[in-house]
Amino acid sequence: MKDKVLKPVGEKLGWQLKDRRSLMKTQWNEIVSDEIVLHRKQRITYTYVISPGAVFVVPVTKEGKFVLIRNYRWTIDEVCWEVPAGLRNHSVAKTVEALCRAEMKEEAGCVGGEMHFVGEFFSANGVCDLRLFVNLALGVDLEESAPEDSESILEIKAFTRAELEMMLDKGEVSDGDSVFCLLLAFRYLDKMKA
């Protein structure tokens, strides 16, 4: 294999990468197929998505309301409430904070505020390597949003925490990444108060 892909943890556990094929590459992600020999010598093909990672930001206004967007998603053919987010590869922003600020301005019209890093996690780690970096922006102001042409943001709305918790209980926020980001933000805010 020309370009050996390093999987140091897998190699330590006895997994061996024999070959990698790129099945498709887009401006956002790449789908690859790896030929692997497992630790018990079984050969498998593992196909998954390689991603540049993403940022998610939970904007909170000076009045303490959480700003969400209602966004159409082609993959599931549904409209979902979400927090502003974006991939790390298609922006001139160099840092996680700068990209969070750019995404919340672009998608929700949120500017300013004090940025707090609240966590990172992998989304759907069985099918992709997408690492999410989550920030909480406290004290944002609302201005005009400027979504990209490829986005279909239908609504921007600010909710109280109680309203959001009720929406979460009813399953009205169906994007799992956004749900987890909101829970991380709530936990962070509770720790700030303690």
Q: What is the pLDDT of residue 148?
A: 73
Cα–Cα distance, 66 to 167 (Å, whole number):
12
pLDDT band at 93 (very low <50, low <70, confident <90, very high): low
Cβ-in-10-Å burial (0-12, 13-18, 19+) of 83 comes to buried
Q: How far apart are the first and last CA of the chain?
A: 54
Cα–Cα distance, 52 to 72 (Å, whole number):
22
For 85-136, give the secondary structure using H, E and C: EEECCCCCCCCHHHHHHHHHHHHHCEECCEEEEEEEEECCCCCECCEEEEEE
CB-based contacts of 113, cutoff 8 Å, min separation 6: 59, 60, 137, 138, 139, 140, 141
Amino acid identity at 60: V
Mean pLDDT over 76-88 rounds to 94
Mean pLDDT over 38-58 rounds to 93
Mind listing the pLDDT tens digit for each residue in 110-164? Answer: 999 999 999 999 999 999 999 999 999 999 999 988 777 777 899 999 999 999 9
Average pLDDT for the chain: 91
Cα–Cα distance, 178 to 80 (Å, whole number):
10
Long-range contacts at 112-117 (CB < 8 A, ≥ 24 apart):
112/139, 112/140, 112/141, 113/59, 113/60, 113/137, 113/138, 113/139, 113/140, 113/141, 114/138, 114/139, 115/57, 116/188
pTM for the complete prediction? 0.88
Q: What is the pLDDT of residue 136?
A: 98
- Diameter of the chain measured on Cα atoms: 59
Closest CA to 108 of 76, 73, 81: 81
Minimum mean pLDDT range among 82-91, 154-163, 172-181? 82-91
Q: How many CB atoms lie within 10 A of CB 63?
A: 8
Cα–Cα distance, 131 to 125 (Å, whole number):
9
Q: How many CB atoms lie within 10 A of CB 175?
A: 20
